[in-house]
Structure 1
Amino acid sequence: MAQRLLKEHRELQKEAKKPDPEIILAPVEGNLYHWEGTIKGPEATPYEGGRFRLDVIVPSSYPLAAPNFRFTTTIFHPNVHPKTGEICLDILKKRVVTGLDLAINVQSDNRSAFAS
């Protein structure tokens, strides 16, 4: 499992090096089971221009169990619990999603929820 998390960390580091990255996630103090980061609000949505902080707990059974993602920045979104910041997506119950996949899915959902 550590190998998988290290691979995902490398992929996320590549994303973070891009100019104005959409997603930044990294382990907290080298702990591969606790990550923090930010996601950029998608253009042409009420979230445009925003940066939203995430806290991610990776279970010891990963990748068989999905990570627990929670917004630590207040965000009003139909798939985010208003008090806890937990992401409430059915996809988490159906299959395991990697950190990068989930971050991209959350961002895509933000775009589609407010598309005209």
Structure 2
Amino acid sequence: MAHLTGNDRRRARVRRAIKAAANGRLRLSVHRSSLHIYAQVIDDVQGRTLASASTLDKDVRDTLKTGANVAAAAVVGKLIAERAKAAGVTSVIFDRGQFLYHGRIKALADAAREGGLDF
């Protein structure tokens, strides 16, 4: 078995807990880099991404000064909620990955809840 880094172990631990608690719900997966933030609504049963949003989207990129702050994460959270609702998704389970539920990750989650996603 390959050696896993701390981030890989944390990501695997979070993903394992999420899949156990999902009960067929779709997964709202979040990734944060130093410059951008990304969100996807994923159907793990079919292996398909139903909706996605990021600070790289053209309409979002033009309105933001940077994609690496809490304000940008909130915009992406609202956008992913809109796109998920358009795809017929109302209930998801939040997958923070290796990232702590704090700062940009929390801002995205709060904005997605305000936008109408239930988790």
TM-score, reference length from structure 2: 0.34
Higher relative contact order (CA 8 A, sep 6+): 2
